[in-house]
């Protein structure tokens, strides 16, 4: 098999400040054969995206390429091509699909105009030809009602449809190489399945090569033929996907396979990267569901939320975000809420915390209906019901130090005698979530995503809550960081008897965390039951559809040899 791309001794460093140099990629080599999907796999910071962007020369200005680095394409070294020749290649012969489509699509142009622009620049098509081809491309990537969507703006499309538009732009000129940089990370499991299937179909139809970048080995196992595993800017292991999954040689590869929750096992603790790399004993004891004791902590009846949107000069359209819903929360147990974007699961969490007011229904907590309380009456309950949001950087004030972030809610709720006492409490919570005392004086941007999520958890704990709403709180994290945060949440639940509402579209994670599960679709609870009941015997077609969409690449893969804890 001939190689389309040959990467040889690629070294990329970044100049930070006047004197500091950070080595992001440290002399890696790999091939991308013709008509083949190759996956670059690793955690954030492993160098996989930097390696891919080196191929299309889209590195920032402070990047420094090694003198001996080469990226060969049709006998030419891409790193030495003149800029004009590189511009001709980009989009026409080598295209990129980025992780976040809304950051890549121009919000002031219609999707039809953005697809047509590529065709006019690279294929010299007339406006009419480009528009006709754009329509055909939208239809090819599975956009419903393609003709009407041609004049739609990006914000009028769902996340999955936006990503399909990005793919349409990328394949418009029928490139020989498509680079897909984490194209499904923020998508629901069903939309993720659709995008992966679409990429596989297009790869086969157009006989192009695909470089698929991901941190999720389960997903990679379904789309790639070759896998390159990276860590700290180095290639740790490479080979055919079957070989990597069946008999991983490197401890880091085995760790990536072991970190993700499995559907056939529910250990008391998930292994993390350091456990496998350092040959620590792996916990094999299975988690047991927390027993239901006493009356419900919170009882929800008839909860619903409607939004009235103006649809004309004198008319309104009613959107039922959450239809009549009933459920209970028991002390010390975890209620999982699963469904696609728009299913209403986040709205339920927001209503429980009264960050969104319910249109109707009751939220009974110790004899009080939280839904009927005034803002002033609700204030004491806010301390007892906290929320961890999906994006910790967006929910942490970038102008506050970690110490200020933790002390502010304590000051508002009069916890601690003075700021010295609050500072001591804050340092104690930092230690509890596994962060050093030095974090107290730093700012959120100085931490990784996993560390920022620990800060968000610590802020919740300063209130000594009884109930925590986890709203997609691990969905944006690498599988290894995700495992660390999930273990932390379970430890805190066991120590403090916390009750969780765990909202997610990742069903494997929900199965691992939850005792009970609600499945939501279009604002309605379509199925409920224990974690085992839902996964072993799903009754509703929508639940069956969600389960069928879970990436199975890691199922049955050789996990590291388990040892008793």
pLDDT given for residue 186 in this prediction: 65
Tell me the residue length of the chain.
565
Q: How far apart are CA 279 and CA 271, in angstroms?
A: 11
Q: How confident is the model at residue 561 (pLDDT cuts 50, 70, 90)?
A: very low
pLDDT tens digits for range 279-298: 999 888 998 888 888 899 99
pLDDT at 558 over 50: no
Q: Which of 70-84, 212-226, 323-337 has the lowest mean pLDDT?
A: 212-226
pLDDT given for residue 563 in this prediction: 37
pLDDT tens digits for range 116-141: 999 999 999 999 999 999 999 999 99
pLDDT at 49 over 90: yes
Higher pLDDT, 167 or 45: 167
**Mean pLDDT for the chain overall:** 91
pLDDT given for residue 553 in this prediction: 64
pLDDT given for residue 557 in this prediction: 38
Q: Which CATH architecture has domain 298-548?
A: 3-Layer(aba) Sandwich (3.40)
Q: How far apart are CA 295 and CA 329, in angstroms?
A: 9
Q: How far apart are CA 477 and CA 391, in angstroms?
A: 10
Residue 252 in contact with residue 273, Cβ under 8 Å? yes
Segments making up each domain of the chain, as ranges: 298-548
- Cβ atoms within 10 A of the Cβ of 547, count? 18
Return the closest-CA partner of residue 55 out of 39, 35, 72: 72
Q: How far apart are CA 222 and CA 402, in angstroms?
A: 41
Q: How far apart are CA 55 and CA 299, in angstroms?
A: 56
Angle among Cα 10, 11, 12 to the nearest 5 degrees reads: 120
Q: What is the mean pLDDT of residues 325-349?
A: 93
Q: β-pairing, 298-310 with 360-365?
A: antiparallel
Higher pLDDT, 29 or 481: 29
In angstroms, the Cα distances linking 18 to 61, 66, 443 are 14, 19, 22
pLDDT given for residue 333 in this prediction: 96
Residues with Cβ within 8 Å of 491's Cβ and at least 6 positions away in sequence, in order, are none
pLDDT at 170 over 80: yes
Structure tokens of 58? 């889209």
DSSP reduced 3-state for 194: helix
Q: What is the mean pLDDT of residues 425-452?
A: 92
Q: What is the mean pLDDT of residues 154-169?
A: 89
DSSP reduced 3-state for 187: coil
Q: How far apart are CA 14 and CA 194, in angstroms?
A: 36
pLDDT given for residue 188 in this prediction: 79
pLDDT given for residue 505 in this prediction: 82
Q: Taking the CA of residue 511 as centre, how many other CA atoms within 13 Å lie in the half-sphere pointing to its CB? A: 22
Q: Which of 92-96, 116-120, 540-544, 549-553 has the lowest mean pLDDT?
A: 549-553
pLDDT at 246 over 60: yes
Angle among Cα 285, 552, 273 to the nearest 5 degrees reads: 50
Q: What is the mean pLDDT of residues 258-272?
A: 89
DSSP 344: S
pLDDT tens digits for range 391-423: 787 889 999 999 999 999 999 999 999 999 999
Please report the sign of the dihedral spanned by the C-alpha atoms of residue 444, residue 445, residue 446, residue 452: positive
Q: Taking the CA of residue 283 as centre, how many other CA atoms within 13 Å lie in the half-sphere pointing to its CB? A: 13
pLDDT given for residue 481 in this prediction: 85
pLDDT at 559 over 60: no
pLDDT given for residue 306 in this prediction: 94
Q: β-pairing, 3-16 with 63-65?
A: antiparallel
pLDDT given for residue 219 in this prediction: 85
pLDDT tens digits for range 493-526: 999 999 999 999 888 899 999 999 999 999 999 9
pLDDT given for residue 455 in this prediction: 94
- Cβ atoms within 10 A of the Cβ of 551, count? 23
Q: How would you write 407-470 as a 3-class SS string?
A: HHHHHHCCCCCCHHHHHHHHHHHHHHCCCCHHHHHCCHHHCCHHHHHHHHHHHHHCCCCCEEEE
pLDDT at 199 over 50: yes
Q: Which residue has the tokens 């047509």?
A: 116
Q: How far apart are CA 351 and CA 357, in angstroms?
A: 6
pLDDT given for residue 554 in this prediction: 38
pLDDT given for residue 99 in this prediction: 79
Q: Which of 18-22, 80-84, 325-329 has the lowest mean pLDDT?
A: 18-22
Q: Which of 18-22, 171-175, 510-514 has the lowest mean pLDDT?
A: 18-22
- Cβ atoms within 10 A of the Cβ of 213, count? 26
Q: Assign 3-state DSSP to the chain and report helix, strand, coil percentages, each to 5.
A: 40, 25, 35
């Amino acid at each position: 098999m001939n190689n389309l791309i040959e990467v040889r001794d690629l070294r990329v460093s970044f100049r930070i400040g006047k004197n500091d140099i950070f080595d992001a990629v440290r002399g890696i080599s790999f091939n991308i054969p013709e008509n083949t999907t190759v996956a670059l796999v690793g955690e954030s910071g492993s160098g996989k995206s930097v390696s891919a962007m080196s191929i299309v020369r889209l590195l920032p200005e402070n990047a420094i390429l090694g003198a001996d680095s080469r990226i060969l394409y049709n006998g030419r070294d891409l790193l030495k091509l003149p800029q004009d020749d590189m511009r001709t290649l980009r989009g026409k012969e080598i295209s990129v699909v980025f992780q976040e489509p809304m950051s890549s699509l121009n919000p002031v142009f219609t999707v039809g105009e953005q697809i047509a622009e590529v065709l006019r620049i690279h294929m010299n098509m007339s406006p009419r030809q480009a528009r006709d081809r754009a329509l055909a491309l939208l239809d090819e990537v599975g956009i419903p009602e393609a003709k009407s969507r041609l004049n739609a703006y990006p914000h009028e499309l769902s996340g999955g449809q936006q990503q399909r538009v990005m793919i349409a732009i990328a394949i418009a000129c029928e490139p020989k190489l498509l680079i897909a940089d984490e194209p499904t990370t923020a998508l629901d499991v069903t939309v993720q399945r659709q995008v992966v299937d679409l990429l596989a179909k297009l790869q086969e139809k157009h006989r192009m090569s695909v470089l698929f970048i991901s941190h999720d080995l389960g997903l990679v196992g379904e789309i790639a033929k070759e896998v390159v595993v990276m860590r700290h800017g180095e290639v740790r292991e490479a080979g055919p996907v079957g070989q990597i999954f069946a008999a991983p040689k490197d401890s880091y590869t085995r760790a990536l396979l072991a970190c993700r929750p499995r559907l056939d096992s529910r250990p008391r603790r998930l292994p993390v990267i350091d456990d496998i790399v350092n040959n620590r004993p792996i916990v094999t004891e299975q988690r047991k569901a927390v027993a239901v004791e006493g009356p419900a902590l919170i009882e929800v009846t008839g909860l619903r939320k409607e939004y009235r949107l103006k649809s004309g000069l004198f008319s309104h359209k009613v959107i039922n975000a959450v239809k009549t819903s009933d459920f209970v929360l028991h002390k010390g147990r975890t209620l999982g809420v699963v469904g696609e974007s728009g299913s209403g699961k986040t709205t339920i969490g927001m209503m429980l915390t009264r960050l969104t007011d319910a249109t109707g229904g009751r939220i009974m907590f110790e004899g009080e209906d939280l839904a009927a309380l005034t803002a002033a009456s609700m204030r004491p309950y806010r301390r007892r019901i906290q929320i961890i949001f999906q994006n910790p950087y967006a929910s942490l004030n970038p102008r506050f130090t970690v110490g200020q972030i933790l002390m502010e809610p304590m000051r508002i709720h009069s916890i601690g005698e003075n700021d010295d006492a609050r500072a001591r409490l804050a340092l104690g919570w930092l230690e509890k979530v596994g962060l050093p005392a030095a974090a107290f004086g730093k700012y959120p941007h100085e931490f990784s995503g996993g560390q920022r999520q620990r800060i968000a958890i610590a802020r919740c704990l300063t209130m000594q809550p009884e109930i925590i709403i986890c709203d997609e709180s691990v969905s944006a994290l690498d599988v290894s960081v995700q495992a660390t945060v999930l273990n932390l949440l379970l430890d805190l639940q066991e120590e403090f008897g916390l009750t969780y509402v765990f909202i997610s579209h990742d069903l494997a994670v929900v199965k691992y965390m939850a005792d009970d599960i609600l499945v939501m679709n279009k604002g309605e609870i379509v199925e409920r039951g224990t974690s085992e009941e839902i996964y072993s015997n799903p009754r509703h077609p929508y639940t069956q559809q969600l389960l069928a969409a879970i990436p199975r690449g890691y199922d049955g893969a050789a996990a590291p040899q388990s040892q008793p804890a």
